[in-house]
Structure 1
Amino acid sequence: MSTHEGTVPAVRTIELSTATIDYSDTGGTGPALLLLHGPLLDHAVWDAVVARLPGLRCVAPTLPLGAHRHPAPRDELTNASLARMVAELMAALDLRDVTLVLNDWGGAQVLVELGLDTRVARLALVACEAFDNVPAGRPGRLLARAARVPGALALQAQLTRLPAVRRRLASAMAARPVPDALLRRWFEPFRDPLVRADLRRFSARFPVPADRDWSAGLGAFTGPALVAWADDDRMMPAEHGPRLARLLPDAELAHVPHAATLVPLDRPDVLAGHLRALVRRAPTDRGGMP
């Protein structure tokens, strides 16, 4: 099935070795994009971008990061284990020549460091965690702190029943108002104790040590890359965009105006244009899959 502007891709479920996950998939035989989200979000954050990418196969999984509907007690829930989950998903769906797109959560950067990127031909880093900004900004640090305080996440989950609280949380990440229906969709699973336990296990491991250059392994990725950085972002430092572009051997840097961290919501039109241009760039022969 091809995607035309305004349509919603099919949502499916797949059983992986450590988790059951939902994912949206436009299907088709066009070039494949794998679109990843951050904590307390799901695949729907990409819907407006996907609707602007007809002819491409867009796959967007819902990772076990707090807005998921299938608890994942079998996974240790670290950046490395989630990167392995992403690699397993690519293999299970037989995705090849993949354009891997990260927004907010930057954990899939360790795919390169772990040598799990043989199916990845192109990489797009869209306003995501990098270097020592893990977790990202004040909201990420507050979430990590709450994960280590008994009962704190449960209290936060109950507070998200209030529209004003939902709006305040969204305003830290988006330059434009986020529809409340979407916010309710994301925060409803968070009120499930088992889902919340997954997020607690993941978030309590952070922040990363101050001396850890968390993105250093990206220098080994020689394929075409896009670094798209939001001009109004309060979570991702402005200097990280150019720094990432310098680190990647074949990267183009794009500034996205009138957008904060959630570029797929704030400027889906601009981001879709950059992704189309990235897909058209010829992949480097990296000695991966035929």
Structure 2
Amino acid sequence: MTSQEALGAQHLLPLAQGTLRYYDRGEPGARPVVFVHGVLTNALLWRKVVPTVADAGFRCLAPDLPLGSHTTPMRPDADLSAPAVATLLGDFLTALDLEDAILVANDTGGAITQLLLARYPDRVGKVVLTPSDSFEYFFPPIFRPLPKIARIPGSMSVLGQLLRIRALYRLPLLFGWVAKRPLPPAIAEEYLGKLRKSKGVRRDLRKFLRTVHSRHTLAAAEKLRQFNQPVLLVWPPEEKLFPISLAHRLAAVLPDAELVEVPDSYTFVSEDQPDALAGHIKRFAAAMAD
């Protein structure tokens, strides 16, 4: 089974902002679990988790958001600011008529999910947040120059060419601090190759990066105080980019939050500890059904 096959059937969904590719695995009528990735990754981030969760009786959906590793560029006039990508995720839920959805998010996808919860919480039944941007960490310090770099003409083309150099992949600025062990080369290429090859993908990423600012996540955090659905925080104690103190702060803000620690992992818990993450998702999702 290929990594894509593990995610299920591939579909293309026309939305106002453009065409969104997503994967769908599980029974159509089952409770939906929507997996939300971050910048310079795509649905493949969840390839080790989706099969286990789908086999437990859930419908797993994993969209490729326009964050630099997507296949189909959005419309040239599409608003892809951070709040607008949260709206795009909400439009995805609405277009597929997904109600009482369980959102599972990581990295930048966690910030997008928080913005969604602050603005359009109605279709969300619960949330699982793995290490994610939050509060003043949007981006974390090591990536904070990116929004300024994205404003420089041609910067995304330069970045795309630099990503040809595989020796850079294990540096903290790429995958060195998000996964404890090297990513499979084919997966790294799926994440980074599209930016190098597609002008439209570079345009979409530039639009998003230019708008990244902690004011969005700080404002969302205040509104999360009114989000009364259950939230599970799955966080490694040795996380480098998003220290576990952020998880404790989120737990203090959210009315119904549980924090569990997963050892031997960095940001990509779905990569480093997929079985542990899938187990926590299944337990938490089943508890909601009681």
The TM-score normalised by the length of structure 1 is 0.90
Aligned pair count? 277
CA distance in 1, matches of 2:188, 2:216: 32
Gaps of 5+ in 1: 1-5, 285-290
Q: 1:224 aligns with which of 221, 230, 234?
A: 230
- CA drift of 1:60 comes to 0.6
Counterpart position of 1:279: 285
Aligned 8 A contact 2:237 2:243 in 1: no
CA distance in 2, matches of 1:174, 1:145: 26
The alignment status of 1:111 with 2:116, answered yes or no, reads: yes
Aligned 8 A contact 1:148 1:204 in 2: yes
Classify the secondary structure of the residue corresponding to 2:117.
Answer: helix
Gaps of 5+ in 2: none
Partner letter of residue 127 of structure 2?
L
Q: Deviations over 1:126-170 (max 9, x none)?
A: 1011111002341x3242232122233211211111211233321
Q: 1:244 to 1:186 in 2, by over 3 A?
A: same
CA distance in 1, matches of 2:7, 2:231: 27
- CA drift of 1:207 comes to 3.0
RMSD, aligned α-carbons? 1.9
- CA drift of 1:263 comes to 1.0
Classify the secondary structure of the residue corresponding to 2:235.
Answer: strand
Classify the secondary structure of the residue corresponding to 1:170.
Answer: coil
CA distance in 1, matches of 2:113, 2:271: 21
Partner letter of residue 75 of structure 1?
A
The alignment status of 1:78 with 2:77, answered yes or no, reads: no
CA distance in 2, matches of 1:164, 1:224: 41
Q: 2:103 aligns with which of 97, 100, 103?
A: 100
Alignment of structure 1 residues 1-290 onto 2, 5 Å: 7-28=6-27, 29-53=29-53, 54=55, 55-72=57-74, 73-105=76-108, 106-114=111-119, 116-138=120-142, 140-168=143-171, 169-191=174-196, 192-209=198-215, 212-282=218-288
- Give the share of equivalent positions with the same residue, in percent: 33
Q: 1:224 to 1:111 in 2, by over 3 A?
A: same
Aligned 8 A contact 2:86 2:113 in 1: yes
Aligned 8 A contact 1:121 1:283 in 2: no
Partner letter of residue 278 of structure 1?
F
Q: Deviations over 1:177-206 (max 9, x none)?
A: 111110101111101122111111110123
Partner letter of residue 195 of structure 2?
F
